[in-house]
């Protein structure tokens, strides 16, 4: 982080060593970057108190979707469940941090975590990641008995791009219930510094050009890659934003599950997350909005007092929701 940037933003000094990452929309370069991220999970060690199981389910394109189930060995039957969508701008694979998060949720909230390895946008553009993720939600509900989970206590949760996917899964689930015999009533949606708006027109989306880890330019690249097959991104006259691609553009947000939304202060995504929280509230959806002050996008990569403070707030809220 440059000295001028350090002076410009009153960021917790613990985050100032974050790299100034810059991405391009070259798919081959992005795929190469994923090789480095894969290294963060090489020989990853799970907590010995956990059981970890891999499932393969069928996606909506007759593709196979890997789901990693993480749960305490002593977990009771009919446990609550989190369907977890990792971040990474839709084009990056899950890192060791995401596995750490999954462990934390499983151990501290005493629930089963189902982490979805959805198709990355480097392989398949929208809606591939979204339909893979929605398939995971419906699979968890429809197989609740054999999975040992309580179908009335399923939460969708995600960070960054995964937060956007979680928000859209809440919307898709609500809509698809019209054609289901047994309705899926999600207990809540937990959206952590989520991606919500493909237009990138908010003040923070335009102005945070040099914040640690995530910048305005990266934000634009993310959407260019994710929506590259859409008429909207191709500039076709009259084309609209694809349904479920950008959660804040849904016209009617009423009826969606309660939300916990956690934006970070120095993040291009901050304003759109707050805007989405306010839109949900205006539609009558209960929202808990917690802004992580002095923090940056992906702040959980650093273990410091600020990180521990906001993780505890999140975990306390998660435990409260699951105890109801």
Residues catalogued as catalytic: 160, 267, 297
- Rounded CA-CA distance 202/279 in Å is 15
User: Which residue do the tokens 């937060």 mark?
Assistant: 163
CA distance linking residue 127 with residue 192, whole number of Å = 21
Cα angle for residues 89, 14, 39 (degrees, 5° grid): 45
Structure-derived torsion over alpha carbons of residues 182, 183, 188, 189, reported in degrees to the nearest 10: 110
Integer CA distances (angstroms), 5 to 9, 71, 129, 204, 212, in order: 6, 41, 34, 15, 9
Phi, psi of 138 (to 5 degrees): -70, -35
Sign of the CA dihedral running 266, 272, 273, 279: positive
Distances (CA, A) of 252 to 19, 126, 170, 171: 39, 22, 13, 10
């Amino acid at each position: 982080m440059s000295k001028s940037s350090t002076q410009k933003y009153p960021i917790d000094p613990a985050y100032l060593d974050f790299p100034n990452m810059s991405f391009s929309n070259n798919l081959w370069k992005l795929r190469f970057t994923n090789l480095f991220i894969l290294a963060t999970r090489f020989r990853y060690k799970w907590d010995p108190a956990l059981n970890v199981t891999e499932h393969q389910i069928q996606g909506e394109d007759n593709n196979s979707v890997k789901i990693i189930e993480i749960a305490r060995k002593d977990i009771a039957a009919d446990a609550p469940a989190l369907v977890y969508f990792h971040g990474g701008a839709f084009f990056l694979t899950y890192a060791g941090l995401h596995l750490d998060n999954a462990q934390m949720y499983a151990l501290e909230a005493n629930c089963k975590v189902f982490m979805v390895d959805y198709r990355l946008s480097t392989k398949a553009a929208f809606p591939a990641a979204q339909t893979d993720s929605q398939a995971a939600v419906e699979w968890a509900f429809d197989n609740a008995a054999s999975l040992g989970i309580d179908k009335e206590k399923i939460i969708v949760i995600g960070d960054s791009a995964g937060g956007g996917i979680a928000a859209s899964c809440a919307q898709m689930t609500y809509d698809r219930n019209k054609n289901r015999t047994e309705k899926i009533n999600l207990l809540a949606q937990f959206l952590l510094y989520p991606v919500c708006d493909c237009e990138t027109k908010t003040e923070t989306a335009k102005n945070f050009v040099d914040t640690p880890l995530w910048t305005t330019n990266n934000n634009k690249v993310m959407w260019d890659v994710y929506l590259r097959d859409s008429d909207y991104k191709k500039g076709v006259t009259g084309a609209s934003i694809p349904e479920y691609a950008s959660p804040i553009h849904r016209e009617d947000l009423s009826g969606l599950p309660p939300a916990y939304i956690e934006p970070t202060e120095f993040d291009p995504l901050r304003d759109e997350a707050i805007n989405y929280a306010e839109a949900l509230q205006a539609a009558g959806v209960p929202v808990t909005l917690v802004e992580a002050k002095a923090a940056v996008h992906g702040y959980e990569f650093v273990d410091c007092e600020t990180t521990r403070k906001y993780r505890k707030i999140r975990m306390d809220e998660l435990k409260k929701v699951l105890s109801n």
